[in-house]
Chains A and B, each alone.
Chain A
Amino acid sequence: MDVAILGASMTEFGERDAWIRELLVEAGEACLADAPVSRDAVEHLYVSNMASGEFEGQTGVMNALAHDMGLLPAYAERVDQTSASGGAGIYEAWQSVASGASEMTLLVGGEKMTHRTTAESTDVIASITHPAEYVHGLTLPSFAGLTARHYLERFDAPRESLAKVAVKNHENGTRNPKAQFQKEIDVETALASPIVADPLRLYDFCPVTDGSAALLFCPVEVAEEYADEFVRVAGVDGATDTHVVHEREDPTVMGGVVESGRGAFEMADCGPEDVDVAELHDMFTILEFLQMEGLGFAEQGRAWQHVEEGRTAMDGDLPINTSGGLKSKGHPLGASGVAQAVEIYEQLLGEAGDRQVEADRGLACNVGGFGNCVITTILEVSG
């Protein structure tokens, strides 16, 4: 069964006073209103969230949201795939509709993080690591530093090329009123910012963020009753790579990106050359290169040249992270994968405002851990 996305929403990302339950309600309500679909129609509810228990001491958020939004007795489930929880939620929501189990599925992703110190948030996220890593104080930023050094040395890529990813995504973020940062930066500023995990500096990393985003799924035949134009899930797939990061044969290849991309392209019956716009998981600047290469947008070791040549800019042949990406828009863990698809949805339906590009088909790649779990989704305009 072909699956449609009938509605989409996201809250403002940034430092929010709202706690997790309020953030989820805000995005969920806005999504039902966007469609619009009545709350009685919702049969399944998925909540993408990595760590509300660890961050806030609030667990059971799927049931909390079902009650708070008056969706009872809808089936509700929390989806955790660390940073890829949002993408995993898309996969679950798609399955719920494609299988015939639900005719109307609401997906809401969210995270509340900024009330914690950066060190505490870093530790919550680093708790995904293997004991052999955790004991040495490995963090996700330190994996990025290790990998970025290897990439730059092996492929003779200039350090500036990573800074240019941050500059591009910050520039895009100034056009997104919901982004955490509305500020352009230049290469010099990025290269002069404090070292976080050498050779990577502050501007190579996404911020800590509160926020929520939502999508509404139903069969294409049902969507046709509600709207003339909507988005279709053309392809979606998920895959895993090693838990222990240093055990990967090639540190510059993210197997989960390669495999989930292959599956999503096969399902959508298209290839990387057919994608008009993409949201990639730029939790660290180096990840944008690794995903471009893993998905076939660039050859291995060459993604940096595409960025240098401006091919991934808003006016390039493949605009990447028109939303500002995680770098500028912010990264509320469980919300991010959902928000990536919200951006693609808006691009495909011509609702992206100052960020609008010409696009009939878009791709979102949501990365959990340091490539440990990955979901790739391809959306097409329909109707």
Chain B
Amino acid sequence: MSDGGADERGTSTELAAHRCPNGHLTYPDHAVCPECGAEQTETVDLSERIGEVVTWTESTATPPGVRTPNIITIVEFDVEGASVRVIGGATDDVETGDPVRPVYVEQLRDPDAGIRHPDSHGWDGFRFEPVE
């Protein structure tokens, strides 16, 4: 993601989970750790890790600027005994329990088609690809 250290060429980028000194992990980041109120001081890059599909849906009624159909999945990663969940699209059909890996995508939806201001946040990020 653009907040996770994407360089200007977009060739090396992180899927960053954020950690506080008490070991709580979140994706995305927050002003303070929602669990304990401490500052989130570290990031953990999930982009090279394998996660597991918790649930998924295939949405056929998508808003302006979004692909149709849009398969969306919640993926859980294990980080040294702590777990963190990430939401994102899937590149292909997935099933609950499937192992998946993050794949970087430069533009996830058309920034100019929806109601959100195009400059208010980044439009790149990760989708999830089933691991064979």
Residues of chain A at the chain B interface (Cβ within 8 Å):
54, 118-120, 122-124, 126-127, 130-139, 141-142, 145-147, 149-150, 153, 194-200, 242, 244-247, 251
- B123 contacts A by Cβ under 8 Å: yes
Count A-B contacts at CB 8 Å: 123
Shortest distance between the CB of B127 and any CB in chain A (Å): 8
Q: Is the interface of B mostly helix, strand, loop or mixed?
A: loop
User: Chain A residues with Cβ under 8 A from B60's Cβ?
Assistant: 194-197
Contact A141 B74 (CB under 8 A): no
Among A54, A246, A247: residue with most chain B CB under 10 A = A246
Shortest distance between the CB of A228 and any CB in chain B (Å): 49
Could you tell me the distance between the alpha carbons of A146 and B108 in the complex, rounded to whole angstroms? 19
Among B57, B70, B72, B85: residue with most chain A CB under 10 A = B57
Contact B66 A149 (CB under 8 A): no
When the two chains form the complex, which single residue of A142, A199, A247 contacts B72, counting CB atoms closer than 8 Å? Answer: A142
- B120 contacts A by Cβ under 8 Å: yes
Contact A136 B59 (CB under 8 A): no
Could you tell me the distance between the alpha carbons of A194 and B115 in the complex, rounded to whole angstroms? 26
User: Chain B residues with Cβ under 8 A from A246's Cβ?
Assistant: 74, 85-87
Could you tell me the distance between the alpha carbons of A174 and B72 in the complex, rounded to whole angstroms? 35
User: Chain A residues with Cβ under 8 A from B21's Cβ?
Assistant: none
Could you tell me the distance between the alpha carbons of A54 and B66 in the complex, rounded to whole angstroms? 20
Contact A198 B58 (CB under 8 A): yes
- B62 contacts A by Cβ under 8 Å: yes
Shortest distance between the CB of A215 and any CB in chain B (Å): 31
Shortest distance between the CB of B88 and any CB in chain A (Å): 6
Known: A135-B109, A136-B109. A197 touches B28 (CB 8 A): no
- B26 contacts A by Cβ under 8 Å: yes
Given A134-B114, A195-B60, 12 further pairs, Cβ under 8 A: A118-B61, A119-B61, A122-B62, A123-B63, A126-B63, A137-B65, A139-B62, A142-B59, A198-B57, A244-B28, A246-B86, A251-B54
B121 and chain A: residue at smallest CB distance = A131
Known: A120-B64, A135-B123, A137-B66. A146 touches B56 (CB 8 A): yes
- B122 contacts A by Cβ under 8 Å: yes
